[in-house]
Amino acid sequence: MNLVTLAAIDEAAERIAGVARRTPLMEIAPLTGEPPIWAKCENLQAAGAFKIRGAYNTVAQLDDEARGRGVITYSSGNHAQAVALAARTLGAKATVVMPTTAPRIKVDGARELGAEVLFEGTTSQDRRVRAEAETASRGLTLVQPFDHEWIVAGQGTVGREILEQRPDLATVVVPVGGGGLVAGVSAAIKQANPEVRVVGVEPVGAATMTASLDAGRPVTLDRVESVADGLLPVRPGDLTFAHVQEFVDEVVTVDDRAIAEAVVWLHRRAKLVVEPSGAASVAAVRQMGADVRRPVVAILSGGNMAPDTLAACVELAG
């Protein structure tokens, strides 16, 4: 299986320039005197998450005929919005398949960007089957949510930027769902500087990559559950799994309370709106404490969070 190269990531960076933002790297200093955490603020990205990088890199490479027929994807929310934005920017029609449990803020976001929204089941497998059926019946072009080289290369531009913004980086911590972000970031960083430690983080209730690494192959979980709705695929991608095997040093898990505490901490301490999926990286850094090599960058992968989700995190955090 061919892994994404630095050249492909560089080409993606040129392709998405002017559409995806170069997000800031923000120093967040704990009040306790502990060393700071550097946050890569993809919560401030166009459409509220890193996903626009891979989505635009993919839709931009389709030919006119494919874009003319329209594109479709399946997503819990952030990739749906990213594909909708990429399609609108490039003059294509977008259809997105979302779970029946999708947060209203993400459904509304996709619709506001011009997408047709279909609902199917509660798992990534349910959405994938529906999207593939719609692709076949309507002649649409399927934009994979994570398991495609163009998606991985686009997400890899996050890692490329981090290295430019913080050349003395020692550790980067990356939220893991289907694995597109951690695959791209690890490919960008490890091929440029193998000494940097790359750590993936999953919710305890949705540790699909951890289970797959233990098995030595991608596995499908029977059930996933977490406050981090963007990190709930039941199976990692084949391509993303191969990247994690090759480039990621460690995958850790954090429980929902730790994730909620990180959401609240970022809101109160840094004045940042970060959804639970995006705050998982900070939860992991705080959990690792003195064991993490510094300087450490935590990728805040998304910020599409409704006020009621923040309130629920406040309650869960205690």
Picking from 173, 167, 201, the residue whose alpha carbon sits closest to that of residue 186 is: 173
- Of the residues 40, 51, 106, 190, which is catalytic? 51
Strand partners, 271: none
List the end-to-end C-alpha distance of the chain, in Å, as a whole number.
46
Q: Cα–Cα–Cα angle for 198, 229, 201, nearest 5°?
A: 15
Q: Is 301 a catalytic residue?
A: yes
Q: Cα dihedral sign for 25, 28, 33, 34?
A: negative
226 catalytic, yes or no? no
**Whose CA is closest to 1, among 247, 248, 209, 240?**
240
C-alpha–C-alpha distance, residues 316 and 27, integer Å: 26
Q: Look at strands 25-28 and 37-41 and give their pairing.
A: antiparallel
Where do we find the tokens 């996903």? 51
Task: Give 90: exposed, middle or buried? Use CB within 10 Å, 0-12, 13-18, 19+.
Answer: middle
Write the CB contacts of 311 (distance below 8 Å, at least 6 apart in sequence).
none
For residues 203 and 220, give the distance between their C-alpha atoms in angstroms, rounded to a whole number: 15
From 75, 124, 186, 301, active-site residue: 301
Q: Which residues are catalytic?
A: 51, 301
